[in-house]
């Protein structure tokens, strides 16, 4: 096994946002030399990695040149140049998750086709190359879900279409439509898989969404569902990971239907918002686990030590500019509350600026505390 610790080994990460920043806490813990590529000199990772490079993640040459400097290359965002990753893999750089996995997942049409081909339960879908093609289909079954085929995140590039007028207002881009599924809960499972094919799942989490921004407000672990549904969700998530044969973390977002069936919504091939609770609540955080998977180390214990709830800190409406975290000292007075600030200096409405984890033996107490935290902290500007 290669010596990763306090050695000449170099880990490369494409993307310097908050996910990379939280990963760096683990690379520092293990003393793994880490290089970051990001387009902004002010990226959250910039002050904390061993080497920081400025470049465009979608540019072939920038990604290829960066990849040649490292021994293992990973991502903290899936919007990256795939051709460069294939070339690097061909030339002996270990790229995890594999380029073929990222290519399928970063395109929502290919991702949905993959589930269908592998008999993985998901909602029925149609693919369209343009808005004109979508209009020509004369869809009449309303409402349905519209998704941009690429570059959507945090609710961007997702719309509920309720009428023909709504179709006329959609962007002109390659897209998919999905049947709108009535569901009881939105759930997620983080799956860890290393190069030896060892797989572990984290407990099922439940997600409560902001009704306007389509962003997660609360991630609740464990999900308040029956043991049978939880076991089914973990089984389906593991089936997805094994179908992809990916190496790394896979965040599997799913719906619990009215009949308690589990169907896949979509996945992300990386650490994920739905796993942030694990930093405080789990034996092994998702970020340490990601490092273990891509370096093919033994997988850590995925059990929770305590119930955990994560609250996103997002920019308040009506505020744009230099960020101020109002009342953050107030929440620090509460037991079991830990804020994480992502290092973004400028706030704007609904921008993810940080998160807060609340841990407690009692999930109900944790949930009440989470609401108190949510109503206390305000992310505003000067």
Domains in the chain: how many in total? 2
Pairwise CA distance, residues 237 & 205, whole Å:
12
The predicted pLDDT at position 295 comes to 97
Q: Give mean pLDDT, residues 229-257.
A: 97
> Is there a domain that residue 240 lies in?
no
Q: Is 15 left (phi over 0), alpha (psi -120 to 50) or beta?
A: left
Which range, of 112-126, 131-145, 274-288, 345-359, averages the lowest pLDDT?
A: 131-145
Residue 217's pLDDT is what?
Answer: 84
Establish whether 265 is an annotated binding residue. yes
154 pLDDT above the threshold of 80: no
Last residue of a domain, one of 179, 213, 244: 179
Please tell me the distance from the alpha carbon of residue 214 to that of residue 146, in angstroms, as a whole number.
14
CATH of residue 166? 3.30.1490.20
DSSP string, 94-107: EESS-HHHHHHHHS
Asked, for residue 46, whether it belongs to a domain, the answer is: yes
190 is in an annotated binding site: no
Q: Which domain holds residue 76?
A: 10-95
41 domain residue, yes or no: yes
Q: Can you tell me the distance from the alpha carbon of 192 to that of 114, in angstroms, rounded to the nearest whole number?
A: 20
What is the phi/psi pair of residue 40, to 5°?
A: -115, 130
For residues 230 and 235, what is the distance between their CA atoms, to the nearest angstrom? 9
Q: Is the pLDDT of residue 216 over 80?
A: no
Q: Is 330 annotated as a binding residue?
A: no
For residue 64, being part of any structural domain is answered with yes
- The mean pLDDT value of the chain amounts to 95
Spatial separation of the C-alpha atoms in residues 363 and 382, rounded to whole Å: 36
Average pLDDT of the residues in 172-179: 94
Percent of the chain with pLDDT over 70: 98
Kindly tell me if the per-residue pLDDT of 208 is higher than 90.
no
pLDDT at res. 211? 72
The pLDDT score that the predictor gives to residue 9 is 97
Indicate if 138 and 91 belong to the same structural domain. Answer: no
What pTM, to 2 d.p., does this model score? 0.95
186 is in an annotated binding site: yes
Residue in this structure with the two tokens 């029956």, named with its chain if needed = 226
266 labelled binding-site residue: yes
> So what's the pLDDT on residue 25?
97
Please, which pLDDT band fits residue 189 given cuts at 50, 70 and 90? very high
The dihedral through the CA atoms of 149, 244, 252, 38 has a sign that is negative
């Amino acid at each position: 096994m290669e010596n990763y610790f306090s050695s000449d080994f170099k880990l490369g990460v494409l993307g310097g946002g908050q996910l990379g920043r939280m990963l760096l806490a683990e690379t520092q813990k293990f003393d793994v030399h880490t290089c970051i590529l990001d387009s902004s000199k002010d990226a959250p990772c910039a002050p904390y990695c061993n080497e920081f490079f400025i470049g465009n993640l979608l540019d072939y040459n920038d990604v290829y040149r960066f990849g040649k400097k490292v021994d293992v290359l990973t991502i903290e965002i899936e919007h990256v140049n795939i051709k460069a990753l294939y070339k690097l893999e061909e030339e002996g750089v270990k790229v995890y998750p594999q380029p073929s996995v990222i290519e399928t997942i970063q395109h929502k049409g290919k991702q949905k086709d993959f589930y269908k081909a592998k008999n993985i339960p998901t909602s029925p879908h149609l693919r369209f190359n343009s808005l004109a093609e979508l209009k020509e289909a004369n869809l009449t079954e309303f409402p349905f879900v519209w998704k941009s085929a690429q570059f959507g995140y945090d609710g961007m590039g997702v719309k509920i279409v309720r009428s023909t007028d709504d179709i006329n207002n959609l962007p002109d881009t390659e897209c998919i439509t999905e049947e709108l599924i009535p569901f009881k809960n939105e759930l997620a499972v983080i799956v860890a898989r290393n190069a030896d094919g060892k797989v572990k799942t984290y407990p099922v989490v439940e997600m409560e969404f902001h009704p306007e921004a389509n962003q997660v407000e609360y991630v609740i672990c464990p999900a308040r569902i029956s043991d049978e549904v939880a076991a089914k969700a973990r089984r389906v998530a593991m089936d997805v990971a094994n179908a992809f044969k990916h190496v790394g973390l896979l965040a599997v977002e799913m719906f619990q239907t009215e009949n308690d069936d589990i169907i896949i919504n979509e996945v992300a091939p990386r650490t994920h918002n739905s796993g942030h609770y694990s930093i405080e609540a789990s034996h092994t955080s998702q970020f340490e686990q990601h490092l273990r998977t891509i370096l093919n180390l033994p997988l850590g214990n995925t059990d929770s030590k305590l119930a955990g709830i994560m609250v996103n800190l997002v920019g308040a409406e009506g505020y744009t500019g230099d960020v101020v975290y109002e009342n953050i000292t107030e929440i620090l007075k509460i037991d079991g509350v830990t804020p994480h600030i992502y290092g973004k200096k400028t706030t704007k409405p609904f921008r993810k600026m940080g998160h807060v984890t609340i841990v407690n033996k009692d999930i109900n107490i944790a949930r009440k505390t989470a609401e108190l935290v949510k109503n206390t902290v305000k992310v505003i500007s000067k």
